[in-house]
């Protein structure tokens, strides 16, 4: 599933391609998880220009002005593309004037699109609200493993399985650590690691794959990487299941 890093890159590239393009039509695929109809989309969006593409948590938001917004959650297998013909598994196709269509496809038809969705109130991992003090208060409330907490979309928006492993390794906190047992000083390191790992990863992917609007680039990861045997500092990479998620870690990380 695309996480915060992937979606930040998709967001900028989609805006670069489609900003100020006029939307002509929206086509909905059969079996798609969309509450609005093609007529609803046409009434709300036909003839409007795309003003911006934003992201919060694991959703993309396409702003067409006049309070008309389309949200998109790619879920596990959703793919964005600009094909000449619509794939069989397409969920929705946005046909813009004078350019290629933007198509969301998903062979499981699990990807979600909403027209004018309710505001997502979760604290995003890259937001100013996600401070060390805020994170400390959240962890103090919970006896779950810290990895489970930082992956919970109702607590922090945008972090998934892969980047949680990278963040916890950077902070040198074992993923099975009980959230409310982690010392405040280490929680502050964790908050710093969340933003530094996310921002560093964005730059790495932009350097190697500057124009992507789909896919998950993971080959640069230092622990969540089945091709690596040791971390950059020599720790043997191990794996375990934490909250049903396959988790990579090393003994360099302290368990609280």
b/e map of 214-238 (b: 16 or more CB within 10 Å)? beebbeebbbbbeeeeebeeebebe
pLDDT at 14 over 90: yes
> What's the chain's average pLDDT?
96
pLDDT for the residue numbered 35: 85
pLDDT of res. 20: 98
pLDDT of 198: 98
Structural element, H or E, at residue 194: helix 184-208
Q: Could you check whether 4-115 and 123-249 share the same CATH topology?
A: no
Q: Which fold has domain 4-115?
A: N-terminal domain of MutM-like DNA repair proteins (3.20.190)
For the entire predicted model, the pTM comes to 0.96
Q: What is the DSSP letter of 119?
A: P
- Region 51-64: mean pLDDT is 98
Model confidence at 47, pLDDT cuts 50, 70, 90, reads very high
- E-assigned strands of 47-204? 52-56, 59-63, 69-73, 79-81, 90-96, 102-105, 112-115, 123-124, 156-157
pLDDT of the residue at 238: 98
Which numeric CATH code is attached to 123-249?
Answer: 1.10.8.50
Q: Is 39 exposed, middle or buried (0-12, 13-18, 19+ CB in 10 A)?
A: exposed
Whole-number percent of the chain with pLDDT over 90: 97
Residue 218's pLDDT band, with cuts at 50, 70 and 90, is very high
**pLDDT score of 36:** 92
pLDDT at 235 over 90: yes
Whether the predicted pLDDT of 33 surpasses 90: no
| Residue-level pLDDT at 31 | 86
Residue 61's pLDDT band, with cuts at 50, 70 and 90, is very high
Structure tokens at 238: 């191990």
Q: How is the chain split into domains, by residue range?
A: 4-115, 123-249
Kindly report the number of other CB atoms within 10 A of residue 109's CB atom: 18
d(CA 112, CA 73): 5
The whole-angstrom separation of Cα 232 and Cα 84 is 43
Say if strands 52-56 and 123-124 run parallel, antiparallel, or are unpaired. unpaired
pLDDT band at 229 (very low <50, low <70, confident <90, very high): very high
> At residue 156, what are phi and psi to the nearest 5 degrees?
-125, 130
Please tell me the predicted confidence (pLDDT) of residue 92: 96
User: Each residue of 140-192: pLDDT tens digit?
Assistant: 999 999 999 999 999 999 999 999 999 999 999 999 999 999 999 999 999 99
* pLDDT(29) > 90: yes
**Residue range 96-121, pLDDT digits in tens:** 999 999 999 999 999 999 999 999 99
**Average pLDDT score over residue span 220-240:** 97
Output the pLDDT for position 173: 98
């Amino acid at each position: 599933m695309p996480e915060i890093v992937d979606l930040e890159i998709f967001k900028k590239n989609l805006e670069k391609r489609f900003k100020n393009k006029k939307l002509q039509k929206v086509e909905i695929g059969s079996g798609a998880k969309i509450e609005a109809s093609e007529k609803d989309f046409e009434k709300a969006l036909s003839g409007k220009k795309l003003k911006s593409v934003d992201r919060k948590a694991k959703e993309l938001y396409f702003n067409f002005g006049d309070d008309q917004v389309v949200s998109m959650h790619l879920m596990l297998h959703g793919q964005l593309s600009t094909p000449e013909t619509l794939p069989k598994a397409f969920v929705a196709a946005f046909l813009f004037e004078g350019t290629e269509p933007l198509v969301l496809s998903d062979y499981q038809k699990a990807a979600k699109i909403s027209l004018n969705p309710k505001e997502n109130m979760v604290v995003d991992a890259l937001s100013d609200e996600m401070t060390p003090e805020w994170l400390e208060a959240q962890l103090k409330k919970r006896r779950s493993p810290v990895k489970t907490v930082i992956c919970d979309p109702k607590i922090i928006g945008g972090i998934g399985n892969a980047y949680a492993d990278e963040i916890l390794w950077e902070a040198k906190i074992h993923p099975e650590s009980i959230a409310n047992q982690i010392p405040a000083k280490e929680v502050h390191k964790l908050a710093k690691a969340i933003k530094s790992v996310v921002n560093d990863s964005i730059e790495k992917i932009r350097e190697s794959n500057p124009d992507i609007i789909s896919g998950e680039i993971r080959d640069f990861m230092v622990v969540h990487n089945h091709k690596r045997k040791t971390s950059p500092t020599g720790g043997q990479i191990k794996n375990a299941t934490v909250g049903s998620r396959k988790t990579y870690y090393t003994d360099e990380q302290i368990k609280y």
